[in-house]
Structure 1
Amino acid sequence: MHQKKIITSGKKISEAEKALIMIHGRGGSAEDILSLSTHLDVKDFALLAPQATNHSWYPQSFLAVPAQNEPWLSSALQVLNDTVIELIANGIGKENIFFLGFSQGACLTLEYVSRNATKYAGVVAFTGGLIGDKIYTDNYSGDFNNTPVFICTSNPDPHVPVERVQSTSVILKDMNADVTLNIYNNMGHTISQEEINLVNEIIFNVK
């Protein structure tokens, strides 16, 4: 099970009106994903980056049968939920909470918000899709109420099939998310400057 360890940056939670939860990928760290914030328009945000135990949120591919990723997957989802609860307790409502994840962290981000759909400030998924050997639609409920969501990936990507990304986008749209889906040919498993620019425009400059 994951030990709750959250690295913070930016404004103090008690002083911020907005917060960004940043979820690192497999083999990454909270510090790694936090460093991305220097390229984002989040200077007035509280920044929170949970650290996965052993640097991985779940052991198998996100395309594995979910039971093969337990109990780690449920524990990881609980870490995100606990982080949200902490922000709410400090006066930052869900409508002012942003999420951002890369790769395994993007999959976890999408899985969490889709299981707990409501009006969030914004969601960024750099190369990710909903988790499972197939998409288990019974897991997802709620209404995103036009939450802006940016999902992107490379075609092909060595870890995330583009078909899963596309299917994920459809499900979130059906749950009333305002989804922007960008697929880049042969970009590789990375985050590009163009993606950063679009995220700043579409997600973090929302008025």
Structure 2
Amino acid sequence: MNSSPAIEIETAPNPQATLIVLHGLGADGNDFVPICNELDLRAIGGVRYLFPHAPERPVTINGGYRMRAWYDILGTDLVRREDEGGLRESAAAIAAMIDAEIARGIPASRIVLMGFSQGCAMTLMTGLRYPQRLAGLVGLSGYLPLAALTAAERHGANADVPIFLAHGRMDPVVPIARAQDSRTALQALGHPVEWHDYPMPHSVCAEEVADLNRWLLARLG
């Protein structure tokens, strides 16, 4: 999937948990390293952070310009025209990363999948379909892709996986209504969703990091 390997950071030898963090459109794995440096998860032991880079691909909404993207964005309507092929290709690659972490000795129940914007979409797409129970899913400033197919395609192992969703109330990129629709759809499927919204645009804020820190400690403690 990637032209370069994921950035890997371990906070201590013999990590006890893994966070796989998926960046947004046009960024790369470096984007969320500073945010994760603000998390304090020492109470659960060492943590391995993985920051993969999406492949470069032409993005239709940006005039076909090539950039790192987990899937193509075909237009401003994020519901009616989705790049199903790109979504499924990236979901398979991210699931393989989870498989590799399990092979390295981290149980699925100690792995959190997390993403921002497109990375949020990939987190929900991949995590709900993964065949082993994960510790949790974190979706920041994004939405549930292929929403109409989720009920039929999700795996029973993650039928009640805890989900942290956060969004900016002034987000001009992914309107908060889209995220609220995703929250409602996930709750209707029985997922325990912890929802937060903040007075910010398409970004991350300090209060959000603090809320996420507390949620991660509860999931992994």
The 3-state SS of whatever aligns with 1:36 is: helix
- Residues 1-207 of structure 1 mapped to structure 2, 5 A cutoff: 2-3=2-3, 5-11=5-11, 15-42=14-41, 44-54=46-56, 55-60=68-73, 62-66=78-82, 69-116=83-130, 119-132=133-146, 135-137=148-150, 138-144=152-158, 146-185=160-199, 187-206=200-219, 207=221
Contact 1:118 1:145 in 2 (8 A): no
**1:184-207 Cα deviation digits (max 9, x unpaired):** 34x111101110010011223432
Q: Percent identity?
A: 26
- TM-score where L is the length of structure 1: 0.85
Q: Which runs of 5+ in 1 are unaligned?
A: none
Amino acid at match of 2:180: Q
**Could you tell me how far apart the structure 1 residues matched to 2:131 and 2:178 are?**
19
Contact 2:129 2:158 in 1 (8 A): no
**Could you tell me how far apart the structure 2 residues matched to 1:33 and 1:197 are?**
15
Contact 1:41 1:205 in 2 (8 A): no
**Could you tell me how far apart the structure 2 residues matched to 1:33 and 1:23 are?**
8
Distance 1:64 1:50, change over 3 A: farther
**Could you tell me how far apart the structure 1 residues matched to 2:51 and 2:98 are?**
12
The CA deviation at 1:162 is 2.4
Amino acid at match of 1:60: I
- TM-score where L is the length of structure 2: 0.80
Runs of 4+ in 1 over 4 A off after TM superposition: 1-4
**Could you tell me how far apart the structure 2 residues matched to 1:79 and 1:34 are?**
21
The CA deviation at 1:181 is 0.9
**Could you tell me how far apart the structure 2 residues matched to 1:3 and 1:77 are?**
17
Distance 1:40 1:180, change over 3 A: same
| Matched residue count | 202
Q: Which runs of 5+ in 2 are unaligned?
A: 57-67
